[in-house]
Amino acid sequence: MLATLNKRFLTLIFSGLALTAVISTAQGYDRVTGELFASRSEVMAQNGMAATSHPLATQIALDILKSGGHAVDAAIAANAALGLMEPTGNGIGGDLFAIVWDAKTQTLQGYNGSGRSPQSLTLEWFIENGYEDIPPRGPLPVSVPGVIDGWFALHERYGALEMADVLAPAIEYARKGHPVHELIAWYWDRSVPVLAEFPGFLEQFTIDGRAPRAGELWKNPNYADTLDMLIQEGRDGFYKGEMARRIGEYMASHGGFLSYEDLASHQGNWVDPVSTNYRGYDVWQIPPNGQGIAGLQILNILEAFDLSSYGFGSPEHIHLFVEAKKLAFEDRARHYADPEFMEVDVEWLISKHYADERRSLIDMDEAAETVEAGRPQLNEGDTIYLTTADKDGNMVSLIQSNYRGMGSGMTPPDAGFILQNRGEMFVLKDGHPNSFAPSKRPFHTIIPAFITKDGSPWVSFGLMGGGMQPQGHAQIVINLIDFGMGLQEAGDAPRIHHTGSTEPTGQALQMTDGGTINLESGFSYQTIRALLGKGHDIAWARGPFGGYQAIMVEHDMTTTPPIRIYRGASESRKDGQAAGF
Full DSSP string of 207-231:
BTTBPPPTT-EE--HHHHHHHHHHH
In 3-state terms, what secondary structure has residue 52?
strand
Q: What percent of the chain has pLDDT over 90?
A: 75
Split at pLDDT 50, 70, 90, the class of 544 is low
- How would you write 102-170 as a 3-class SS string? ECCCCEEEEEEECCCCCCCCCHHHHHHCCCCCCCCCCCCCCCCCCHHHHHHHHHHHHCCCCHHHHHHHH
Give me the pLDDT at residue 214, please. Answer: 97
In 3-state terms, what secondary structure has residue 575?
coil
Asked whether 480 and 490 are in contact (CB, 8 A), the reply is yes
Split at pLDDT 50, 70, 90, the class of 467 is confident
Asked whether 511 and 370 are in contact (CB, 8 A), the reply is yes
Q: How do strand 516-519 and strand 496-499 relate by DSSP bridges?
A: antiparallel
In angstroms, rounded to a whole number, what is the distance separating the alpha carbons of residues 100 and 227? 24
Assign 3-state DSSP to the chain and report helix, strand, coil percentages, each to 5. 35, 20, 45
Give me the pLDDT at residue 13, please. Answer: 35
Asked if residue 561 has a cis previous peptide bond (ω within 30° of 0), the answer is: yes
Give me the pLDDT at residue 566, please. Answer: 98
In 3-state terms, what secondary structure has residue 206?
coil
- Mean pLDDT estimate for the chain: 89
> What's the mean pLDDT in 243-254?
98
Asked whether the predicted pLDDT for residue 574 surpasses 90, the reply is no
Split at pLDDT 50, 70, 90, the class of 536 is very high
What value, to the nearest 5°, has the Cα angle with vertex 386 and ends 419 and 177? 60
Contacts of 544 (CB under 8 A, 6+ apart): 22, 25, 26, 495, 520, 573
How is 161-194 classified by DSSP, letter by letter? S-HHHHHHHHHHHHHH-EEPPHHHHHHHHHHHHH
Burial (Cβ within 10 Å: 0-12, 13-18, ≥19) of residue 530: middle
Q: How do strand 456-464 and strand 107-113 relate by DSSP bridges?
A: unpaired
Asked whether the CA dihedral 180, 183, 189, 191 is positive or negative, the reply is negative
Task: Give the amino acid at 158.
Answer: Y
Helices 292-302 and 352-359 pack at an angle, to 10 degrees, of: 70
Q: In what order do the strands lie in the sheet with 95-102?
A: 269-271, 107-113, 95-102, 395-403, 382-389, 49-52, 577-580
570: β partners: 549
Give me the pLDDT at residue 252, please. Answer: 98
pLDDT tens track for 366-390: 998 766 554 433 344 478 999 999 9
Asked whether 338 and 288 are in contact (CB, 8 A), the reply is yes
In angstroms, rounded to a whole number, what is the distance separating the alpha carbons of residues 569 and 50? 9
Least confident window among 48-57, 477-486, 543-552: 543-552
Give me the pLDDT at residue 22, please. Answer: 31
Split at pLDDT 50, 70, 90, the class of 504 is low
Domain ranges for the chain: 2-43+272-381+446-555, 56-96+104-268+413-425
Asked whether the predicted pLDDT for residue 33 surpasses 60, the reply is no
Domain 2-43+272-381+446-555 has CATH 2.170.16.10: no
pLDDT tens track for 288-339: 888 899 999 999 999 999 999 999 999 999 999 999 999 998 888 877 878 7
> What's the mean pLDDT in 540-559?
84
For residue 313, which of 526, 544, 545, 539 has the smallest C-alpha distance? 526
Split at pLDDT 50, 70, 90, the class of 507 is low
Asked whether the predicted pLDDT for residue 234 surpasses 70, the reply is yes
For residue 500, which of 515, 482, 484 has the smallest C-alpha distance? 515
Asked whether 498 and 379 are in contact (CB, 8 A), the reply is no
Give me the pLDDT at residue 36, please. Answer: 59
Asked whether the predicted pLDDT for residue 285 surpasses 50, the reply is yes
- Core vs surface per residue 278-309: b (16+ CB within 10 A) or e: beebbbbbbbbbbbbbbbbbbbbbbbebebee
The catalytic residues are 383
Give me the pLDDT at residue 376, please. Answer: 36
Q: How do strand 577-580 and strand 563-570 relate by DSSP bridges?
A: unpaired
Asked whether the predicted pLDDT for residue 24 surpasses 50, the reply is no
In angstroms, rounded to a whole number, what is the distance separating the alpha carbons of residues 63 and 152? 20
pLDDT tens track for 127-178: 999 999 999 999 999 999 999 999 999 999 999 999 999 999 999 999 999 9
Give me the pLDDT at residue 35, please. Answer: 57
In angstroms, rounded to a whole number, what is the distance separating the alpha carbons of residues 79 and 285? 20
Residue 510, phi-psi category: left (phi > 0), alpha (psi -120 to 50), beta (remainder): beta
Of the CA atoms within 13 Å of residue 247, those in its CB half-sphere come to 32
pLDDT tens track for 333-367: 877 878 787 666 888 899 999 999 999 999 999 99
Residues in the chain: 581
Q: What percent of the chain has pLDDT over 70?
A: 88
Asked whether the predicted pLDDT for residue 249 surpasses 60, the reply is yes
pLDDT tens track for 65-120: 999 999 999 999 999 999 999 999 999 999 999 999 999 999 999 999 999 999 99
Asked whether the predicted pLDDT for residue 8 surpasses 70, the reply is no
